[in-house]
Amino acid sequence: DTKAIQKLDSAHYLHPFTDFKDLNEKGARVMVKGDGIYLWDSEGKKVLDGMSGLWCVNVGYGRSSISEAVYQQMEVLPFYNSFFNTTNVPAVQLAAKLVEISPPQFNHVFFTGSGSEGNDTNLRMVRRYWDLLGYTDRHVIISRHNAYHGSTVAGASLGGMGGMHAQGGLPIPGIEHIGQPNYFEAGRGKTEAEFGIEAASWLEQKILEVGPEKVAAFIGEPVQGAGGVIIPPATYWPEIQRICDKYGILLIADEVICGFGRLGTWFGSELMGIKPDLMTFAKGVTSGYIPLGGVMVGDRVANVLIEKGGDFNHGFTYSGHPVACAAALENIRILQDEKIVEKVATETGPYLKQQFATLATHPLVGFADSCGLVAGLNLVKEKAELVHNCVLFDAEQNVGMICRGYMFGNGMIMRAVGDRMIIAPPLCISVQQIDEMIGLIRSCLDKTLAD
């Protein structure tokens, strides 16, 4: 009974990232079932999940082999911790599997329960690394405006979302932000390649402003996700790598969205041609079936932590949770056996790119781009041949949210970040289903235009 659930929901459940008053008035949509790339709500309506839940259900819904792996592990050992020199078999097997699929500099992993906890771990780990080397002043971490690195105090501070900083007095000290490589918003008068170099130079400027001897690390998502699917120009990340190398600064790739195949490579940093020292992961590691996150720790950092010794006073009850690790092992087996990552690289990713380009001709779309199976388009009031000459809607018009509402009504979940409409469908999507998705998006753009 939808009404009864909604009533209970608004009576007792405070949802994340939600206007509680608004939700109480409208009532939540109740999702009850998933299969493949589709979801069903409590009214029996079927929707195409263009966001993979929250960018995480990479292998799609309804994989009974993951449920089976979880059930089996729960029967044998539902929990044990990995504090104080203890371990469990699935966590060890998963650590080895993650090392196998990660770039060669990664031979160690630190498990957490989420991506936010992974980024908290990064913050403490890079500071400990520099402390162990005797550089106790080298604690500043540079991040980017509009980045999303989680909701814990350190995660939200590392993130660059103004709305999050405004609540709770963030960021905490020792974190600095630079601009994001958003060509549509900031690249006027430059080619994409020129803009990529310029956006990377903001890092060098910030390093010099803070003092290179104080900067511990730079953190960034290979493709910024929640900030609006900001796909950087190809010149951006190699230049960021060059700058980090020049000043000896650690490079952290937040792979919580890009990891596990989203861009057609196991990790987004591989596509961007960089060699991070640390990589945060979560979401796609279990396809969201069970919470799990962590940090891949590269040799540069791991060797110091191990050789210098001493406790790392950090960890979570659910670090290396055996049931979550069993789910991850089965999820990775599916990704490997069904060659899903390769398909994103050679089949579904290129097909989405081609189809998304056809949406760019729509009168409401000023700019559209994609990378693997993540894509975004900007809704504009007036198109122009040169993207920077497009006329934007007034923010108060909430055109993105209006379009998102049509999508929902029309049987598709698409997210709005201001007037940028974004998608990240399950990686198991077929080319026929991409056609269906593009058709749904086009008809919603038509409705939004007509409105």
For the CB of residue 291, give the shortest distance to ligand PLP in the complex, in Å. 7
Closest among 178, 157, 176, 177 to 167, alpha carbons compared: 157
Task: Point out the residue whose Cβ comes nearest to ligand PLP.
Answer: 115
Sheet of 175-178: strands edge to edge?
106-112, 293-298, 278-281, 250-254, 215-220, 140-144, 175-178
Q: Which residues of 206-221 are buried (b: 16+ CB within 10 A; e: fewer)?
A: bbeeeeeeebbbbbbb
* Residue closer to ligand PLP (CB basis): 258 or 441: 258
# binding residues, ligand PLP (CB under 6 A):
16
**260 part of the interface to ligand PLP, by CB under 6 A:** no
Question: Does residue 41 contact residue 433 with C-beta atoms inside 8 Å?
Answer: no
- Of 162-170, 195-203, 221-229, 431-439, the segment contacting ligand PLP by CB under 6 A is 221-229
- Of 73-81, 114-122, 353-361, 379-387, the segment contacting ligand PLP by CB under 6 A is 114-122
Question: Does residue 13 contact residue 387 with C-beta atoms inside 8 Å?
Answer: no
Write out the binding residues for ligand PLP, residues 224-243 only, by CB under 6 A.
225-226
Question: Does residue 331 contact residue 287 with C-beta atoms inside 8 Å?
Answer: yes
Write out the binding residues for ligand PLP, residues 25-54 only, by CB under 6 A.
54
**269 part of the interface to ligand PLP, by CB under 6 A:** no
Q: In Å, how far are 129, 202, 404 from 283, measured between CA atoms? A: 26, 30, 23
Alpha-carbon distance of 63 to 383, in angstroms, equals 43
Alpha-carbon distance of 345 to 375, in angstroms, equals 14
Which of 39, 257, 403, 414 binds ligand PLP (CB under 6 A)? It is 257
Question: Does residue 222 contact residue 253 with C-beta atoms inside 8 Å?
Answer: yes
* Residue closer to ligand PLP (CB basis): 115 or 315: 115
* Residue closer to ligand PLP (CB basis): 301 or 424: 424
| H or E element in which residue 336 lies | helix 322-337
Write out the binding residues for ligand PLP, residues 128-157 only, by CB under 6 A.
148-150
Q: Which residues of 322-353 are buried (b: 16+ CB within 10 A; e: fewer)?
A: bbbbbbbbbbbebbeeeebbebbbeebbebbb
**293 part of the interface to ligand PLP, by CB under 6 A:** yes
Which of 254, 270, 277, 330 binds ligand PLP (CB under 6 A)? It is 254
**221 part of the interface to ligand PLP, by CB under 6 A:** yes
* Residue closer to ligand PLP (CB basis): 111 or 393: 111
Q: Residue 141 corresponds to which tokens in the numbers above?
A: 């971490």
- Of 18-26, 108-116, 332-340, 443-451, the segment contacting ligand PLP by CB under 6 A is 108-116
For the CB of residue 254, give the shortest distance to ligand PLP in the complex, in Å. 4
* Residue closer to ligand PLP (CB basis): 204 or 221: 221
**276 part of the interface to ligand PLP, by CB under 6 A:** no
**120 part of the interface to ligand PLP, by CB under 6 A:** no
Sheet of 31-35: strands edge to edge?
31-35, 38-41, 46-49, 412-413
For the CB of residue 448, give the shortest distance to ligand PLP in the complex, in Å. 26
For the CB of residue 443, give the shortest distance to ligand PLP in the complex, in Å. 28
**116 part of the interface to ligand PLP, by CB under 6 A:** yes
Longest dimension (CA), the chain: 65
Q: In Å, how far are 114, 135, 137, 176, 214 from 127, measured between CA atoms? A: 20, 9, 9, 15, 11
Interface contacts to ligand PLP, rule CB under 6 A: 54, 114-116, 119, 148-150, 221, 225-226, 254, 256-257, 282, 293
